[in-house]
Structure 1
């Protein structure tokens, strides 16, 4: 497999890194984090101008025609600056659902608005009782003539308070945990019967709780076939994990660089503490975690677009385990090497640690995915 970037990918990465270096230094991010809506509309517009928002969409829909590899490159750069913009929510999650389940008419209407930076979308799927079980859907959608009526509650909807449209999973048949019977609906965020409560995650990314009370949508709002939404959900779920793995590479790259520089600058007994062998060993551990994360991110990304469900799921689960175990351990080591200042809001390293910790919980934590791998027979089984 060729892991070298194409000329177009190299140009994209260079342009994105220049933009983020200019607009997203730590002090710039602090201003964005402390303000409303908790992300930068100006940066989002510039990402759209750069073409970043069109990456995974087909050319006939107004996109770039890229794949998971292009998303991984973007997520690595965005992770390096702890971006707060809704790229994961709008392009990877909601955009992925449109790509996998939407009709040509639905994509034709919505993709150009996403690509242009005009429309924020969010996937409203998680529910409080799910415990990471993807097929756990209690929200219902009942037929009412030519319409559907939705009732239920959704949790941890990334950028849910900012979204203009939701993609909502709801059960049209079957029991709560069944894979069959899950349908997907496009719902206007300001539709009658929708209420939302916005808040910030521990790493300051915006999220929301969504309540649907007798929300009526037309039959044309159905995304894909009725009762057949689970396959698209599972595929986009694995693609989102691959994207997070790409972000983890960016996070660990910056964690290593920040920690190494701190060890060179901080002096004890008249010498830089970087000269202490035991601290050098800790730095090497962070480096090893970074290289392991890079390898598993490439593996998950290579499988993210596959229709081989079992192999794709195993790759995603392995990436999530690596993020939750080695990635988190590396971030904890970096905090220890910084000492007390490492847990203060004034030091960037604390914010990287929080992002790593939150990412461990998104889409299932390490323990959950270890169980998944055990059920699937580990990575070594054919």
Structure 2
């Protein structure tokens, strides 16, 4: 199998890497994080100008016709820079639901605005009791003529505090943990009955708690009303796991580079500590863990487009297990080899470790996916 990038993919990688190198120093990141949004709208517009926000969508819908590999390249660069912008929330999660679940009119109305950076979206799905079970949905969608009325609460809505519109999962039939009966509804974030409480997460990103009280949704804003939205949600979450795996690999790569540089410059007993064989062995183990994670990132990227849901889910879970294990190992080793400076707020490394920890937890940690993989007879069953 040929893993070389095409000319267009290499140009995309070079463009985003160059932009982030120019604009996303650690000091700049602290400035972005301190802004009201917690990220840079100016950079978001630049992402749109160089095509990053339209890559995932087809040309017929107003995008640039990219696929999982292009999303991987962008996400890996964002992970290395610790980018704060709502790419995962708007493009991968909510944008993915529209790309795969919206009808022609909905795609035509929304995707060009997403690609141009004018429209921000968030996926409001998780609930307090649901854990990592995507089918556990208690929010209700009651039919009222041709419309629906939504009630319920959603938690940890990634970048939900700045979104212009929310894609909300709600139950139109069945009991709370039934796999059937779940619908998807597009809701204006400022609509009557919608309240949001935004907050920073531990890794410096943003999220929101969302409450829906008698929120009316017209037929044109219904993505899936027949209670059959769960397979679509599972597929988009698998794509999001693949993207976040690439982000984790980018963050791990940056942590390793910083650690190797530190070993070369920090002196003890008059020599660089990188000359000590024991520390060389630990750095070598970090390289092995990174390459294991990179291999599974590539598997997740390729399998995220797999139509067979069972096979796709096994590959995604296997990748999540390795990404989580490698992230913990590289993060811990990086901190230990740096010493106390590694955990200071003024140094990038500790922030990388925080982000890696949150990526491990997002959509189920390594232990959760190892259990899920074991129940499906393993990756090769």
TM range (shorter): over 0.9
1:73-222 to 2 correspondences below 5 Å = 73-222=73-222
Q: Distance in 2 between matches of 1:11 and 1:225?
A: 41
Q: CA deviation at 1:4?
A: 0.5
Give, in angstroms, the shift of residue 34 of structure 1: 2.1
Contact map agreement 2:139 2:169 (CA 8 A) in 1: yes
The 3-state SS of whatever aligns with 1:223 is: strand
Structure 1 counterpart of 2:69:
69
Partner of 2:53: helix, strand, or coil?
A: helix
TM-score, normalisation: structure 2: 0.99
C-alpha separation between the residues in 2 aligned to 1:126 and 1:376?
A: 24
1:293 alignment counterpart: 293
State the 1:225 CA deviation: 4.4
Q: Which residue of 2 aligns with 1:240?
A: 240
TM-score of the superposition, structure 1-length normalised?
0.99
Q: Is the 8 A contact 2:296 2:323 kept in 1?
A: no
1:176-224 per-residue CA deviation (whole Å, 9 max, x = no partner) reads 1111100000000001000000001101101100000111111221103
Is contact 1:327–1:356 with CA below 8 Å preserved after alignment? yes
RMSD value, Cα: 0.8
Q: CA deviation at 1:66?
A: 1.0
Q: Tell me whether 1:256 sits opposite 2:256 in the alignment.
A: yes
Matched with 1:359 is: 359
Partner of 2:45: 45
Extract unaligned runs of 5+ from structure 2. none
| 1:29 aligned residue | 29
Q: Which 4+ runs in 1 deviate beyond 3 A?
A: none
- Count of residue correspondences: 381
Does the residue aligned with 1:127 lie in a helix, a strand or coil? coil
How far apart, in 1, do the equivalents of 2:220 and 2:231 lie?
20
1:278 shift after superposition: 1.0
Residue 332 of structure 1 corresponds to which residue in structure 2? Answer: 332
Q: Secondary structure at the match of 1:66?
A: coil
Superposed CA deviations along residues 314-364 of structure 1, whole A, max 9, x for unmatched, are: 111111111221211111110000101111011110000000001111101
1:200 and 1:206 in contact (8 A); partners too:
yes
Partner in structure 2 of residue 305 of structure 1: 305
The residue number in structure 2 matching 1:230 is 230
| C-alpha separation in 1, matches of 2:358 and 2:92 | 18
Give the Cα separation in 1 of the matches to 2:278 and 2:199: 41
- Number of the residue aligned with 1:269: 269
> Residues 339-354 of structure 1: matches in 2 within 5 Å?
339-354=339-354
Shift of 1:62: 0.3
Unaligned runs of at least 5 residues, structure 1: none
Distance in 2 between residues matched to 1:372 and 1:45, nearest whole Å: 39
Question: After alignment, is 222-231 or 155-164 more displaced?
Answer: 222-231
CA distance in 1: counterparts of 2:93 and 2:258, whole angstroms: 30
Q: Distance in 1 between matches of 2:225 and 2:10?
A: 39
Q: 1:254-279, CA deviations, whole angstroms, 9 ceiling, x for partnerless residues? A: 11100000111111111110011111
Separation in structure 2 between the aligned mates of residue 363 and residue 109 of structure 1, nearest angstrom: 29
Name the CA distance, whole Å, in 1 between partners of 2:209 and 2:109. 26
SS in 2 for 1:328: helix
